[in-house]
Homo-oligomer: A and B are copies of this chain.
Amino acid sequence: MTENTDEKLAAPTYPFATLPPEPTLAKPVRVLVLGGGFAGLEVCHQLDDPRYAITLIDRQNHHLFQPLLYQVATAGLAGTDIAQPLRSILSEQKNVTVLLDDVQQCDLDAGQVRTKHQTLGYDYLIIALGAVTGYFGHDEWARHATGLKSLNDALMIRRQVLGSFEEAERLGSEPHDEALLSMIVIGGGPTGVEMAGSLAELSRQVLPGNFRRINPAEAKVYLIEAGPRLLPAFSPELSEYTRQRLENMGVTVLLNTPVQAVEAHTVKLTDRTLRARTIVWAAGVRANPLTSTLKVPTDRAGRIAVAPDLSLPGYANVFAAGDIVSLKDPKGVVVPGVAPAAMQMGRHIAGVIKKDFTLAVKARGLPAPVPRAAYTYFDKGNMATIGRSAAVASAHGLSFRGFIAWLMWLVVHLLFLVGFRNRVIVLWQWMYSYFTYRRGARVIIGAERPQTEA
**Does A34 reach chain B (CB closer than 8 Å)?**
no
Q: Is the CB of B446 within 8 A of A152?
A: yes
Residues of the B chain whose Cβ atoms lie less than 8 Å from the Cβ of A436: 421
Q: Is the CB of A438 within 8 A of B450?
A: no
**Does A25 reach chain B (CB closer than 8 Å)?**
no
Cα-based distance from A167 to B117 in the complex (angstroms): 10
Q: Is the CB of A79 within 8 A of B445?
A: yes
Chain B binder among A86-94, A126-134, A231-239, A312-320: A86-94
Residues of the B chain whose Cβ atoms lie less than 8 Å from the Cβ of A440: 80, 421-422, 425
Q: What residue in chain B is nearest A151 (Cβ atoms)?
A: B445
**Does A125 reach chain B (CB closer than 8 Å)?**
no
Q: Is the CB of B428 within 8 A of A97?
A: no
- Complex interface bits, A77-118 against B, C-beta within 8 A gives 1, otherwise 0: 011110101011001001011111110000000000000011
**Does A366 reach chain B (CB closer than 8 Å)?**
no
**Does A136 reach chain B (CB closer than 8 Å)?**
no
The one of B102, B447, B449 that contacts A102, using a Cβ cutoff of 8 Å: B449
Residues of the B chain whose Cβ atoms lie less than 8 Å from the Cβ of A212: 94, 96-98
Query: Given that A88-B210, A210-B87 are contacting pairs, would A446 and B446 also be in contact in the complex, using a CB cutoff of 8 Å?
Result: yes
Residues of the B chain whose Cβ atoms lie less than 8 Å from the Cβ of A428: 421, 424-425, 428
Residues of the B chain whose Cβ atoms lie less than 8 Å from the Cβ of A422: 440
Q: How far is the CB of A327 from chain B (nearest CB, A)?
A: 30
Cα-based distance from A83 to B150 in the complex (angstroms): 22
Q: How far is the CB of A77 from chain B (nearest CB, A)?
A: 8
Query: Given that A170-B100, A421-B432, A421-B440 are contacting pairs, would A59 and B210 also be in contact in the complex, using a CB cutoff of 8 Å?
Result: no
**Does A166 reach chain B (CB closer than 8 Å)?**
yes
Q: How far is the CB of A86 from chain B (nearest CB, A)?
A: 9
Residues of the B chain whose Cβ atoms lie less than 8 Å from the Cβ of A442: 61-62, 85, 87-88
**Does A139 reach chain B (CB closer than 8 Å)?**
no
Q: How far is the CB of A434 from chain B (nearest CB, A)?
A: 12
Q: What residue in chain B is nearest A446 (Cβ atoms)?
A: B446
**Does A414 reach chain B (CB closer than 8 Å)?**
no
Residues of the B chain whose Cβ atoms lie less than 8 Å from the Cβ of A102: 449
Residues of the B chain whose Cβ atoms lie less than 8 Å from the Cβ of A85: 210, 442-443
Q: Is the CB of A443 within 8 A of B151?
A: yes
Most buried by B among A94, A166, A209, A421: A421
The one of B101, B169, B432, B445 that contacts A80, using a Cβ cutoff of 8 Å: B445
Query: Given that A61-B162, A79-B78, A422-B440 are contacting pairs, would A170 and B91 also be in contact in the complex, using a CB cutoff of 8 Å?
Result: no
Residues of the B chain whose Cβ atoms lie less than 8 Å from the Cβ of A450: 61, 100
Residues 398-451 of A contacting B (Cβ, < 8 Å): 421-422, 424-425, 428-429, 432, 436, 438, 440-450
Q: Is the CB of B61 within 8 A of A166?
A: yes
Query: Given that A79-B78, A438-B88, A444-B61 are contacting pairs, would A213 and B152 also be in contact in the complex, using a CB cutoff of 8 Å?
Result: no
Residues 199-226 of A contacting B (Cβ, < 8 Å): 207, 209-213
Residues of the B chain whose Cβ atoms lie less than 8 Å from the Cβ of A118: 170
**Does A60 reach chain B (CB closer than 8 Å)?**
yes
Q: Is the CB of A61 within 8 A of B100?
A: no
**Can you list 17 A-B pairs, Cβ within 8 angstroms, ordered by A?**
A61-B162, A61-B166, A61-B442, A78-B81, A85-B210, A87-B207, A88-B210, A88-B442, A94-B212, A98-B212, A100-B163, A101-B170, A152-B447, A155-B446, A421-B436, A424-B428, A425-B440
Give 19 A-B pairs besides A98-B212, A421-B428, A425-B428 with Cβ atoms closer than 8 angstroms: A78-B79, A79-B443, A79-B445, A85-B210, A87-B210, A88-B438, A91-B209, A97-B169, A97-B212, A98-B169, A100-B166, A100-B169, A117-B170, A151-B443, A151-B445, A421-B432, A424-B428, A425-B425, A446-B446
Residues in chain A within 8 A of chain B (CB atoms): 59-62, 78-81, 83, 85, 87-88, 91, 94, 96-102, 117-118, 150-152, 155, 162-163, 166-167, 169-170, 207, 209-213, 421-422, 424-425, 428-429, 432, 436, 438, 440-450
